[in-house]
């Protein structure tokens, strides 16, 4: 039996965070969908016209509103979800203020058609600018449809604040996707101007994530952390990332929240795995006792207050870190030949035969998309192989179909995922070197199949991890980090302004094994370097470190950047010949390197061609 809708007593109404609930169409869409979820709907269909300004329709198959209570539903502070002030402390429903329908009704032309399962037929209530115009019988299966037309028609000031139709529409679709992600078991559809922009089937989080994140969802890894502060969800593989933070959805007790600290907690787990300036995406869900969360602090419930935020922060960070440790390897996804027009078409005219490097059947799931320059933030470090264009990086491995599907871009109906076999870096041990190709790639055999290794990226990550680990150990044990004393001190001349910047980092650099000091105007003396960098020209290394030191970094970011830069210089170059022993040593170290599947800039270090992929490529039945 669902609770009747009641007017809240004034003292409860007053205790509720006041504010404007509906400031844009997306907010109305969110409130209406939340009502449907609170009503136990299993399907919610949203239809938008002109970004929601002309029309919003939200239809559900939930519990419905009894005919006699329709007018109460649109009354202010009328809710079926809360009775006393004490209930506020343990809110489990999404709504509780009894304000949304009233606020929407006040600024639109609103029709609610609803039927409870016990009723013979449906009832419709029509209001305009908050005035009830009509209450009559109607036809509808059990559930509720709310139709909102001409939103803000009577509040021109509000209308003037809205952005373009496009961005209002995008915000509304995002509101629906957020709710789909927080309620994956509920089926959602969203049309915008008759275009189906989201269809989430209602199932597992993976299914919903596939609908929301499109093809990228194939790259999501599961997060799990049990306990008093439970953490779950799906986060992006280090190899796929985005330019903004908007793809990371933080959920607390099934409510999407905007909590900067928790976004930072997730990003921290990716430290050293992503290029600078790139961000992970996915859904991270925190489940705690409702008494630990105060949802009543923000009018649109965008923000919540967490008791013991510090503990929640570490729980999230730990769970994401653990998930990333287990992240899958880069696996070349190979389509069977002749699978369809798009493949043949994309191959381009004149292409004959199966040339592996160029062929679209040799299709990698996620091409490396970002120039390494952007990744390191290094400006033209001489001698380092930072000058390759992104085109070189992706040669032969780019998805022939080209464009990456962004969020909402996934065309509905088409399976968004191409299944990547579930390999982990540790599964590849023992990694046995077979050869080095003339281009310099390493070819190795592993229990999971043939493995191709980028020796530079792999070595870079090994050195990077070792540098940081040694620095941490030295700090813990209160000793200086191991370094290689130079036979002859190297004196480097640098611009006076740059010396300032460098001297701020002397301590950080000492933690990595460098010994540097100012040595008169415009000069820096280097007495020792990290053991890994022993064979490099110290003067050049110091100058490059200087180039890689933009101001404004926090200490941790600066330390990682300096470690990445040192590792990049010290690592073998692609193309450099390695003898069998060196190859073996590199591969052995790689498989035990934490986060070793990507280099410090987020590029993959290995690509696996497993039996399944090869069978597909050769057109053999998979076993």
Question: Are 249 and 282 contacting, i.e. CB atoms less than 8 angstroms apart?
Answer: yes
The SS3 call for residue 244 is coil
* Alpha helix stretches (DSSP H) within 145-198: 156-161, 165-182
- Among Mg ion, ligand ADP, none, residue 65 binds (CB under 5-8 Å by kind): ligand ADP
Query: Between 16 and 269, whose beta carbon lies closer to Mg ion?
Result: 16
Q: Is 81 in the site for ligand ADP (CB under 6 A)?
A: yes
Question: Are 422 and 584 contacting, i.e. CB atoms less than 8 angstroms apart?
Answer: no
> 171: cis peptide before it, omega within 30°?
no
For residues 109 to 148, the per-residue mask of contacts with ligand ADP, x marking binding by CB under 6 A and - elsewhere, is -----------------------------------x----
Q: How far is the CB of 38 from Mg ion (least distance, A)?
A: 7
Among 33, 70, 88, 100, binds Mg ion (CB under 5 A): 100
- Among ligand ADP, Mg ion, none, residue 96 binds (CB under 5-8 Å by kind): ligand ADP
E strand or H helix that includes residue 198: strand 195-200
Q: Is 77 in the site for ligand ADP (CB under 6 A)?
A: no
Q: Is 365 in the site for ligand ADP (CB under 6 A)?
A: no
Among 57, 65, 197, 283, binds ligand ADP (CB under 6 A): 65
CA distance 94 to 284: 18
Among 63, 192, 240, 583, binds ligand ADP (CB under 6 A): 63
Q: Is 66 in the site for ligand ADP (CB under 6 A)?
A: no
- Among Mg ion, ligand ADP, none, residue 236 binds (CB under 5-8 Å by kind): none
Q: Is 146 in the site for Mg ion (CB under 5 A)?
A: no
Q: Is 299 in the site for Mg ion (CB under 5 A)?
A: no
Query: Between 29 and 284, whose beta carbon lies closer to Mg ion?
Result: 29
Stretch that binds Mg ion, among 96-104, 138-146, 376-384, 400-408 (CB under 5 A): 96-104
Task: Give pairs for 334-342: CB < 8 Å, separation 24+.
Answer: 334/361, 334/362, 334/363, 334/609, 334/613, 334/614, 334/616, 334/617, 335/360, 335/361, 335/363, 335/616, 336/361, 336/616, 336/617, 336/619, 337/361, 337/617, 337/619, 342/400, 342/401
HEC sequence for 367-387: CCCCCHHHHHCCCCCCCCCCC
Nearest residue by C-beta to ligand ADP?
A: 95
Instruction: Please state, in angstroms and as integers, the Cα–Cα distance from residue 149 to each residue in 52, 58, 134, 180, following that order.
Output: 8, 12, 16, 24
DSSP string, 528-552: EE-GGGTTS-HHHHHHHHHHT--TT
Stretch that binds ligand ADP, among 55-63, 128-136, 324-332, 407-415 (CB under 6 A): 55-63
Q: Is 24 in the site for ligand ADP (CB under 6 A)?
A: no
Q: Is 35 in the site for Mg ion (CB under 5 A)?
A: yes
- Among Mg ion, ligand ADP, none, residue 59 binds (CB under 5-8 Å by kind): none
E-strand stretches of 66-142: 78-79, 109-115, 122-128, 131-138
Total residues binding Mg ion (CB under 5 A) = 3
CA distance 203 to 573: 47
Stretch that binds Mg ion, among 100-108, 148-156, 192-200, 563-571 (CB under 5 A): 100-108
Query: Between 302 and 311, whose beta carbon lies closer to ligand ADP?
Result: 302
Among 25, 51, 52, 98, binds ligand ADP (CB under 6 A): 98
Q: How far is the CB of 443 from ligand ADP (least distance, A)?
A: 59
Question: Are 425 and 326 contacting, i.e. CB atoms less than 8 angstroms apart?
Answer: no
Q: Is 31 in the site for ligand ADP (CB under 6 A)?
A: yes
E strand or H helix that includes residue 148: strand 143-149
CA distance 217 to 237: 9
- Among ligand ADP, Mg ion, none, residue 99 binds (CB under 5-8 Å by kind): ligand ADP
Q: How far is the CB of 422 from ligand ADP (least distance, A)?
A: 40
Among 47, 49, 61, 99, binds ligand ADP (CB under 6 A): 99
Among 62, 218, 433, 548, binds ligand ADP (CB under 6 A): 62
Q: What is the DSSP letter of 476?
A: H
Q: Is 225 in the site for Mg ion (CB under 5 A)?
A: no
Binding positions for Mg ion, rule: CB under 5 A: 35, 95, 100
Binding positions for ligand ADP, rule: CB under 6 A: 5, 31, 35-36, 38-39, 60, 62-65, 73, 78-81, 95-102, 144
């Amino acid at each position: 039996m669902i609770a009747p809708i009641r007017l809240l007593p004034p003292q409860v109404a007053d205790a509720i965070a006041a504010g404007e609930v509906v400031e844009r169409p997306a907010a109305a869409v969110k409130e209406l969908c939340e009502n449907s979820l609170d009503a136990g709907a299993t399907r919610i269909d949203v239809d938008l016209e002109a970004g929601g300004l002309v029309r919003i329709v939200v239809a559900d198959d939930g519990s419905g509103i009894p005919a006699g209570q329709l007018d109460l539903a649109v009354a202010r502070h009328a809710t079926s979800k809360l009775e006393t002030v004490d209930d506020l402390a343990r809110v489990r429903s999404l709504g509780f203020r009894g304000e949304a329908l009233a606020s929407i009704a006040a600024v639109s032309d609103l029709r609610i058609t609803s039927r409870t399962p016990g009723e013979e037929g449906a009832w419709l209530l029509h209001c305009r600018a908050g005035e009830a115009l009509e209450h009559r019988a109607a036809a509808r299966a059990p559930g509720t449809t709310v139709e909102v037309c001409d939103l803000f028609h009577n509040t021109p000031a509000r209308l003037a604040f809205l952005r373009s139709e496009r961005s209002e529409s995008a915000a509304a679709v995002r509101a629906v996707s957020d709710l789909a992600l927080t309620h994956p078991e509920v089926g959602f559809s969203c049309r915008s101007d008759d275009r189906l922009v989201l269809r989430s089937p209602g199932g597992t989080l993976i299914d919903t994530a596939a609908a929301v994140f499109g093809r990228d969802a194939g790259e999501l890894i599961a997060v799990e952390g049990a306990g008093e502060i439970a953490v779950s969800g799906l986060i992006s593989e280090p190899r796929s990332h985005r330019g903004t933070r908007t793809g990371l959805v933080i959920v607390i007790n099934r409510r999407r929240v905007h909590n900067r600290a928790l976004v930072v907690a997730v990003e921290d787990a990716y430290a050293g795995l992503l290029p600078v300036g790139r961000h992970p995406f996915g859904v991270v869900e925190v489940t705690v006792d409702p008494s630990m969360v105060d949802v009543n602090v923000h009018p649109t419930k965008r923000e919540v207050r967490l008791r013991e935020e510090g503990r929640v922060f570490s729980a999230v960070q730990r769970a994401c870190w653990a998930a990333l440790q287990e992240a899958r390897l880069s696996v070349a996804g190979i389509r069977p030949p002749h699978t369809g027009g798009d493949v043949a078409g994309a191959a381009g005219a004149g292409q004959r035969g199966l040339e592996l490097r160029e062929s679209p059947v040799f299709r990698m799931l996620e091409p490396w998309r970002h120039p390494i320059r952007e990744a390191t933030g290094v400006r033209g470090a001489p001698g380092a192989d930072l000058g390759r264009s992104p085109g070189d990086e992706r040669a032969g491995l780019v998805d022939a179909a080209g464009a990456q599907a962004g969020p909402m871009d996934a065309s509905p109906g088409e399976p968004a995922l191409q299944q990547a076999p579930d390999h982990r870096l540790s599964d590849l041990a023992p990694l046995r070197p077979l050869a080095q190709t003339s281009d310099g790639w390493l070819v190795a055999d592993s229990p999971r199949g043939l493995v191709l290794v980028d020796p530079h990226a792999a070595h870079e990550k090994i050195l990077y991890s070792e540098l940081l680990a040694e620095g941490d150990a030295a700090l813990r044990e209160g000793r200086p980090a191991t370094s290689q004393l130079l036979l002859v001190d190297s004196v480097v001349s640098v611009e006076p302004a740059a010396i300032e910047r460098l001297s701020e980092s002397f301590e950080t650099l000492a933690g990595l094994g460098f010994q540097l000091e100012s040595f008169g105007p415009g000069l820096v003396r280097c007495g020792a370097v990290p053991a890994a960098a022993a064979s490099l020209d110290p003067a050049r290394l110091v100058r490059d470190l200087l180039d890689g030191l933009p101001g404004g970094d926090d200490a941790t970011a600066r330390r990682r950047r300096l470690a990445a830069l040192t590792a990049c210089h010290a690592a073998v170059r692609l193309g450099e010949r390695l003898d069998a022993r060196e190859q073996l040593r590199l591969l052995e170290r790689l498989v035990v390197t934490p986060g070793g599947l990507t280099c410090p800039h987020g590029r993959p270090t290995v690509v696996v061609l497993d039996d399944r992929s090869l069978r597909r490529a050769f057109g053999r039945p998979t076993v």
